[in-house]
Structure 1
């Protein structure tokens, strides 16, 4: 790769994580940054992440190969206007927002389509800021890339290569398909989670019985309701049309199951839950389309010191690399306390055989 310098407008959770990941993997790439809080820039400088110890000026971005726009959408648009007359001809602007339509439209209006590749790392946390950013947040996360019709394919390929080098999985989509997909799988669930939390809050008794006994499924499905209200205000405003379309379809689903419950339609109720279970279970088994198959298994693990290390040693000594491993903290709906993800089918199958050989109880997915 020919990348020598990156610029960052914003150093929050995502921008900060890209900076930290780049520093870990490509220590020779220089990075500069501008933030709404100059103390954040100083913090990044003190950690050896960026070149500047005070906020960079717009003119300082003139030598950047890529400029990552990591502020809210409206602020990004203001910075694009400022950068337009500063960045060099070969520079590529990119963003990390979860809505792509508005920024693509703005880029088109400004005549910068050949300089833009939209981006959306499908990762994050309810926590925010540089202090919560990590050098591994992008690891094995899908990173949606939305080039314009005028972006040079060779430039898109190099950008894909860079994103892949950070440990993420680049996936190219057109921006309208991206906004429809994220409205369904990300934006609508956040609206639903917040609505459910507000419903329980408003329905609880003075002793807060619901809040006291809330656990398991309720906490799992509503965890994302702790995300930034400011961010979700903006997302609902910028992806309004797609979110409303998905809400209409979802409301019909609720109406349908309400009717089945009202009519005591046992078969219809069972089919409703069976269909959801079958599709949900398929997410970890064999997804279709451009996303590759996930090779996950679950196994029981006694809560004792060195338990995970023992399994990792067994697999490593047999030349098996683990892609992801983690404890299932809520086992209400999952078999096995330990989730292990392998890179391919042969590794997945060998892992099952090996663990069973050592008398572990393994659940295949």
Structure 2
């Protein structure tokens, strides 16, 4: 870490809490301060020695920090930036972690005395929120986007890159508008579509609850992100509204064209629709984590016999692998196994795969 002695984190939720944990793990001597309205979270972080001191509002310790991470929704982040701009040290670096970048970067550049600011966005997260759901390895092998502004010097980028690499992230530098277009395509619009699919299923549900009963793993996988915080996504969509609207129009065009292919029984067109999607999807890297929350799951093809779940759980347990969830998939039209095992991270998923395969179980990864 380059000449960094103290870091402040404003917003000690999932992202801010995970950042604090990662920094504490990698740099035990670093002074870490936090600001949050949730006093119990601050006191817990102090008790766990993740932060040195927690405050309910900004104060001199925050102003005098070498780096300030603002880990709040974009509108709240802009409020903090307005208050910090003329109070922080001249060489203090301020960055954020919001999901949109153009709006906040433009806001900083419009200030009378803009601080040294770099937009930031960790391409990692989970459906859960709050400090109690944070964990130190959230950023490992995850892309972390940095978007410079007119107050950003090359040394600023190098310093932030050093900090992010230290916690296992992969920093990349793009413009704010590039960021918002890409994340609109791969995150913001998919959240809209996932929520729309769930609302469609809700509208078609019958009195016997058949939709929920037969909802297969595939449906739950593609709609998993619909369980995310509604308030957060209201904020994101409005902050990136023009891009989201344009992308939804493009998506609507694709769907309308596909409807016409079905109506006209265009076999070649329908086949090409699925083929092109498969080819592009299969080209995605499986090594680095992305913006949408990862799912660490294995499917195991087993017979329905007494003790089989206990045997698998014991086998993994004696090898030090913690199972977050294990359940029988009763509706598995497009799944390769009936036992779905959810694990904590990629390392344990890989180890579980090797152990189960080595013990003659038929195991399938979830890509």
Normalised TM-score (structure 1): 0.81
The residue matched to 2:199 in structure 1 has which SS? helix
1:96 is aligned to: 97
Query: Once the 2 structures are TM-superposed, how far is the Cα of residue 155 of structure 1 from its aligned partner?
Result: 1.6
**Cα deviation code 1:277-322 (max 9, x no counterpart):** 11111113799xxxxxxxxxx998988468779999xxxxxxxxxx
Could you give the per-residue CA deviations for residues 329-358 of structure 1, whole angstroms, max 9, x where no partner exists? 98876879999989xxxxxxxxxxxxx999
The CA distance in 2 between the partners of 1:114 and 1:63, in whole Å, is: 13
Cα displacement (A) at 1:168: 0.8
* Structure 2, unpaired ranges of 5+: 289-297, 303-308, 321-325, 348-356
Cα distance in 2, alignment partners of residues 190 and 152 from structure 1: 34
Q: Which runs of 5+ in 1 are unaligned?
A: 288-297, 313-326, 343-355
Q: Which moved more, 1:110-119 or 1:333-342?
A: 333-342
Bigger shift: residues 145-154 or 218-227: 145-154
After superposition, the Cα gap between the structure-2 partners of 1:103 and 1:360, relative to the gap in structure 1 and judged at 3 Å, is: same
Q: Quick one: distance in 1 between partners of 2:162 and 2:238?
A: 32
Does 2:148 align with 1:142?
Answer: no
Pairwise CA distance, 1:266: 1.1
- Match of residue 122 from structure 1: 123
Deviations 1:117-172, CA, capped at 9 Å, x for gaps: 11100111111000000011111111111111431101201111110110111111
With normalisation by structure 2, the TM-score equals 0.80
> What is the distance in 1 between the residues matched to 2:11 and 2:247?
30
- Cα distance between partner residues in 2 of 1:111 and 1:92: 17
Q: What do the CA deviations read for 1:234-262 (whole angstroms, capped 9, x no partner)?
A: 01110000000100100001001100111
Take 1:245 and 1:123, find their aligned partners in 2: how far apart are those partners?
Answer: 25
Does the CA contact (< 8 Å) of 1:114 and 1:152 recur in 2?
Answer: no
Aligned to 2:281: 280
Task: Specify the alignment match of 2:323 in structure 1.
Answer: none
Contact 2:10 2:34 in 1 (8 A): yes
Worse-matched range after superposition: 251-260 or 68-77? 68-77
The 2-side partners of 1:149 and 1:118 are apart by 11
Q: Given that residues 85 and 114 in structure 2 are in contact (C-alpha distance below 8 angstroms), is that contact kept between their aligned partners in structure 1?
A: no
Going from structure 1 to structure 2, the CA distance change for 1:136 and 1:257 (only over 3 Å counts) comes to same
- Structure number with the bigger relative contact order (C-alpha 8 A, sep ≥ 6) is 2
Q: CA deviation at 1:209?
A: 0.9
Shift of 1:59: 2.6
Count of aligned residue pairs for this structure pair: 334
Give the secondary structure class of the aligned counterpart of 1:161: helix
Post-superposition offset of 1:215 = 1.6
- Name the SS for the 1:271 alignment partner: helix
